[in-house]
Amino acid sequence: MAQRATVYRADLTVSDLDRGVYAQHALTLARHPSETEERLMVRLLAFALFADEALAFGRGLSTEDEADLWQRDATGTIERWIDVGLPAEKDIRKACGRARAVVVLAYGARRVEQWWSDNAAALSRLANLQVLTLAAAETEALQALAARSMTLTCTVQDGHVWLADERTTVEVAPARRP
């Protein structure tokens, strides 16, 4: 019998001073049985960084050719495609052909540096691609915030992100790759 996804709910208040976005979001996130809480929280961070009423979570790990998060305009055109983790260069190229803007939020301890050195030359040629990397300590701290029911506040200022619940505040500074 196949395992079912675990449902997480997050009430997220976003104050993005960099973009002038202030909003409250009631989110439902499904964690695939093979997905870690760390990855789930990186997806939640990606939502907070690019928060918009039109931004939605994809169907998950078991669905190929779909973003982890994406934002479509009224005509169905993909405005923003967001992947978390270390996607294959071929998949990123394909996403860049389908969306106006593509963001990769890369994490994974030492593997990020190897992934970047293997793919930097090819990825730097993609004009509509933005690659942000997270340090292992940051994603571990994000994972500590994970709970089946979360009330979180997120402040974004000068490229830094503070994500907090009632007990803890985690600071994340995604590094932009050239």
- Entry field: residues in the chain: 178
Nearest to 49 by CA among 178, 177, 172: 172
How many other C-beta atoms are found inside a 10 Å radius of the C-beta of residue 118?
12
Locate 137 and state its tokens. Answer: 């300590």
Q: Would you say 145 and 168 are in contact if contact means Cβ atoms under 8 Å apart?
A: yes
CA distance 171 to 95: 29
Per-residue pLDDT tens over the stretch 138-150: 999 999 999 999 9
Give the Cα separation of 10 and 146 in Å (integer). Answer: 9
State whether CATH 1.10.390.10 applies to domain 6-177: no
Burial annotation 93-112 (CB, 10 A radius, 16+ → b, else e): bebbeebebbbbbbbbeeeb
Express each pLDDT in 122-138 by its tens digit: 999 999 999 999 999 99
Contact 7, 30 (CB under 8 A): yes
Tens place of pLDDT per residue across the chain (178 aa)? 567 889 999 999 999 999 999 999 999 999 999 899 999 999 999 999 999 999 999 886 656 778 999 999 999 999 999 999 999 999 999 999 999 999 999 999 889 999 999 999 999 999 999 999 999 999 999 999 999 999 999 999 999 999 999 999 999 999 999 7
Query: Is there a contact between 132 and 177 (Cβ–Cβ < 8 Å)?
Result: yes
SS3 172: strand
- Angstrom distance (rounded) from CA 81 to CA 79: 7
Domain boundaries, the chain: 6-177
Report in angstroms the alpha-carbon separations of 25 from 31, 110, 168: 18, 33, 20
